Amino acid sequence: MDTDLQQNQQKKPKEGSSISLSSTINQKPGSSFRFWSGIALTVLLIFATSMVIKTIFSETLGYLTAIILFMIWILFQCFQLQKIVQWIKNPIIKNNFGNTGTYSYIYAAMVRLIRSSNRQQVLLYKTLAGFKRSTEAMSDGVVIIDNKNQIVFVTPNAERYLKIKSDLDMGKNIINLIRNPEFAEFLIKTDWSKSVVLEDLPIENRVLKLQIIPYDDNERLLICKDITKLKRLESSKKDFVANVSHELKTPLTILGGYIETMIELPLDKTKKTKMLQEMSNQTFRMERLVNDLLILSRLDTDETSAMHDEIFLESIFGKVIKNAHLINNNHHKINFRNNKKYNLLGNYEQIFSAFWNLINNAIIYTKPYGIIQISWKVNTNKEGVFEVSDTGPGIESHHLPLIAERFYRVDKSRSQESGGTGLGLSIVKNIALKHESKLEIESKIGKGSKFRIIFPLERIKKVS
């Protein structure tokens, strides 16, 4: 491969322009016969003319005529030779040599050579452009380096991942650009059968998987794959398992403790009832946790469930408001405003679960006699907005970006007191995402919070 690949890709050869003639082509069969017969004919004509002169005038005049004609012919050939040398220096296709004569054959052969060379250059240009396009389309970054680790070619993604600038860094040693001992060690070794995973190289917080494919004695491909998301997913999976185990451990330890006490100690009826009540609470807590985990796992894996059914919001609101009044021991004032003209397209179970989680949180976290407002409307952008606002404690702003993460709690003791699992808002966020919608939260300490799900207009259906 040409070392200055990029330059080659940018220059598209034009027919008729100055080019270097490096390849050979097959001459047309029969052209050598025509070449020699032309020379023979000229020599024959000179002889014939001198013989005629000799016969008509004298022998001396005949020989003189032959010598003069031969000299003229040689001079003409020298002139043509000089012309063709000039032309070879700048081979623009323009016939100055006529259709007969020795040099017209040389000219014709050269033109064929130029045309073939042009065709090969166009083909090479197309191949290189295709190669460039295909490597650019790859999500992986590709760098071609030579046997001295000098950069020959780099794709835009590789520029991004490795912070290489194709215009400035071409020809530079890649080890000097990416200053990382592990990377240098990987490049220097000769066994490239295994890929290597490197972090912070050179973009912070990015994890790259590098692989080298040698494809000729002098050059090799360095392929870089961005596996940052995969790595994060792996670590969040590990965190998730650790969190679930931790969440289950507490109620199980409490249950175990009570069971042991009940077996070993004689307890009066009041104590026994209290313990059984606590055991029931812990069992209920584990049940809620398992239920929420099941909902999340279904949301993560279930791609098939109907997501575009018309949801009759009247029915959902009827159910959630009834539930809200049932669990509302703190006598909150619950207001409800519903724009009955619009329904929603989505999954009934999921929408019910999202709406209920927000209302349930408002009831749990708002002090007795607080005010809870629930509303459904279509805003000026024709988006559907479901909102639950409360006069609860409010949430400090630094918690807001994390609050919908799994197991994130602002106040752990209050959440546990209320039987919270720390999964409610992550379920809401997940459901919103599944409906191409977003969860927005506004909150002021001491004033209260507003949780809003905004549905895109494609999911809004006017009630007929």
List of residues contacting ligand ADP (CB under 6 A): 361-362, 365, 390, 392-393, 395, 403, 408-411, 415, 420-426, 449
Least distance (Å) from ligand ADP to the CB of residue 424?
A: 3
Q: CB within 8 A of 55, min separation 6: which ones? A: 62
Q: Of 106 and 410, which CB lies nearer to ligand ADP in the complex structure?
A: 410
Structure tokens, 156? 């835009």
Answer yes or no: are the C-beta atoms of 125 and 13 closer than 8 Å: yes
Strand order across the beta sheet in which 207-214 lies: 151-154, 141-146, 219-226, 207-214, 196-199
Rounded Cα distance between 461 and 340, Å, is 11
Least distance (Å) from ligand ADP to the CB of residue 419?
A: 8
Answer yes or no: are the C-beta atoms of 391 and 371 closer than 8 Å: yes
Least distance (Å) from ligand ADP to the CB of residue 359?
A: 9
Q: Of 106 and 296, which CB lies nearer to ligand ADP in the complex structure?
A: 296
Rounded Cα distance between 16 and 115, Å, is 9
Q: b/e per residue, 255-294, with b = 16+ CB within 10 A?
A: beebeeeeeeeeeeeeeeeebeeebeebeebbeebeebbe
Q: Of 192 and 408, which CB lies nearer to ligand ADP in the complex structure?
A: 408
Q: Of 239 and 310, which CB lies nearer to ligand ADP in the complex structure?
A: 239
Structure tokens, 455? 């549905």
Q: Of 226 and 390, which CB lies nearer to ligand ADP in the complex structure?
A: 390
Least distance (Å) from ligand ADP to the CB of residue 392?
A: 4
Least distance (Å) from ligand ADP to the CB of residue 244?
A: 14
Phi, psi angle pair for 387, to nearest 5°: -135, 140
Structure tokens, 464? 């007929």
Least distance (Å) from ligand ADP to the CB of residue 188?
A: 50
Least distance (Å) from ligand ADP to the CB of residue 336?
A: 16
Q: Of 227 and 400, which CB lies nearer to ligand ADP in the complex structure?
A: 400
Q: Of 110 and 432, which CB lies nearer to ligand ADP in the complex structure?
A: 432
Peptide bond into 202 cis (omega under 30): yes
Q: Of 207 and 362, which CB lies nearer to ligand ADP in the complex structure?
A: 362
Question: Could you tell me which of 331, 346, 443 has the C-alpha nearest to residue 387?
Answer: 443
Instruction: Give 64-73 contacts, CB < 8 A, sequence gap 24+.
Output: 70/46, 73/42, 73/46
Q: Of 251 and 420, which CB lies nearer to ligand ADP in the complex structure?
A: 420
Least distance (Å) from ligand ADP to the CB of residue 328?
A: 14
Answer yes or no: are the C-beta atoms of 44 and 147 closer than 8 Å: no
Least distance (Å) from ligand ADP to the CB of residue 259?
A: 26
- Residue 2: Cβ within 10 Å count: 12
